[in-house]
């Protein structure tokens, strides 16, 4: 029998990983996803919006640009600092608060909409995180999510990482949030409806080597994986990531464009 998962220990390791490098370098390229999610949720002026696991604030900024009263949260304060820099540059009034997605420090039904782009899906205790999103969203409000799918590029990238540094036994992969049946399990009881749209985000880099260099330097999980492996293990990881990127590249030999599937999800709160 497997021992119970120590979610706090997992979360501590995750926080260390996401605080390493500088996720904002990667996150900024994903801004389009936040804009599309804001439209999918039909955000209205003066609505109260919470961005959970906000990173450097893509959904935060998208909601604020639409006149919403936004609170941006993450458990890594340094990431919120990046979001605050962006908000100040655009003269957007946003509240930033350090918070754990699995224990949100807000009253029940505090928000008209709760958003997360490629954020809450990395919470180790998935049912608890989903319950918190539903708890702080008012009846009739919307929970908007962008989640990588298991079959898509980022889902496959994490499988490659897991092959070199296996995750804790029994821990659900983050990409389960990109499975429609799992979303029904997570939100079914609290949802009046769950609308799902499959979308693609294109990662654009010079080459596979350029992508790996950027992610190895700035993207916490990849940065920490390379740092944790011995030299021969790091070379093997590099080879496997290169093979994945080359296989999925649709730009030919002169550049790198890798489509990555994700689910755009709008849960209407019961």
Nearest to 188 by CA among 114, 246, 270: 270
Residue 4 confidence class, pLDDT cut points 50, 70, 90: confident
| Whole-number pLDDT of residue 2 | 65
- 126-176 pLDDT, tens digit per residue, is 999 999 999 999 999 999 999 999 999 999 999 999 999 999 999 999 999
Taking residue 232's Cβ as centre, other Cβ atoms within 10 Å add up to 8
**Helices and strands, number each (H, E), in the chain:** 11, 7
The per-residue pLDDT of the chain, averaged, comes to 97
Q: How far apart are CA 226 and CA 224, in angstroms?
A: 6
- Read off the tokens for 11: 């979360």
Residue 215 lies in a domain: no
Residue 189 lies in a domain: yes
- Read off the tokens for 33: 């996803």
pLDDT exceeds cutoff 60 at 1? no
Residue 75 lies in a domain: yes
pLDDT exceeds cutoff 90 at 21? no
Q: How far apart are CA 44 and CA 67, in angstroms?
A: 7
Nearest to 262 by CA among 144, 165, 171: 144
Query: Number of C-alpha atoms within 13 angstroms, CB side, residue 146?
Result: 27
Residue 2 lies in a domain: no
Mean pLDDT value across residues 44-52:
99
| Whole-number pLDDT of residue 136 | 99
Residue 23 lies in a domain: yes
Residue 111 lies in a domain: yes
Mean pLDDT value across residues 5-26:
92
- Domains contained in the chain, number: 1
Mean pLDDT value across residues 99-107:
98
Full domain range(s) for residue 15:
7-149+168-201+261-269
- 166-222 pLDDT, tens digit per residue, is 999 999 999 999 999 999 999 999 999 999 999 999 999 999 999 999 999 999 999
Residue 243 lies in a domain: no
Task: Check which CATH number belongs to the domain holding 119 and give it.
Answer: 3.40.50.150
What letter does residue 268 receive in the DSSP assignment? E
Residue 55 lies in a domain: yes
Q: How far apart are CA 84 and CA 61, in angstroms?
A: 10
* Element holding 192 (H helix, E strand): strand 191-205
């Amino acid at each position: 029998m497997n021992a119970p998962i120590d979610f706090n220990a997992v979360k501590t390791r995750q926080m260390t990983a996401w605080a390493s490098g500088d996720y904002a370098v990667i996150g900024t390229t994903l801004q389009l996803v936040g804009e599309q999610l804001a439209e999918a949720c039909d955000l209205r002026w003066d609505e109260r919006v919470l961005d959970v696991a906000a990173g450097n604030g893509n959904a935060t900024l998208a909601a604020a640009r639409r006149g919403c009263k936004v609170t941006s949260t993450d458990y890594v304060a340094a990431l919120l600092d990046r979001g605050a820099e962006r908000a100040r540059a655009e003269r957007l009034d946003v509240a930033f608060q350090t918070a754990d997605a699995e224990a949100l420090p807000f009253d029940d039904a505090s928000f008209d909409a709760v958003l997360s782009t490629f954020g809450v899906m990395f919470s180790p205790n998935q049912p608890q995180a989903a319950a918190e999103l539903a708890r702080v969203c008012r009846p009739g409000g919307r929970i908007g999510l962008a989640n990588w799918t298991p079959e898509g590029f980022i889902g496959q990238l994490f499988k490659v990482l897991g092959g070199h540094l296996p995750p804790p036994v029994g821990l659900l992969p983050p990409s389960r949030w990109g499975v429609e049946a799992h979303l029904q399990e997570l939100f079914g009881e609290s949802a009046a409806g769950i609308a799902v749209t499959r979308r693609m985000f294109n990662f654009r880099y010079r080459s596979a080597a350029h992508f790996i260099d950027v992610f190895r330097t700035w993207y916490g999980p990849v940065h920490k994986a390379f740092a944790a492996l011995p030299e021969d293990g790091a070379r093997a990881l590099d080879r496997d990531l290169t093979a994945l990127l080359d296989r999925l590249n649709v730009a030919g030999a002169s550049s790198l464009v890798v489509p990555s599937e994700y689910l755009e999800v709008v849960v209407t709160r019961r």
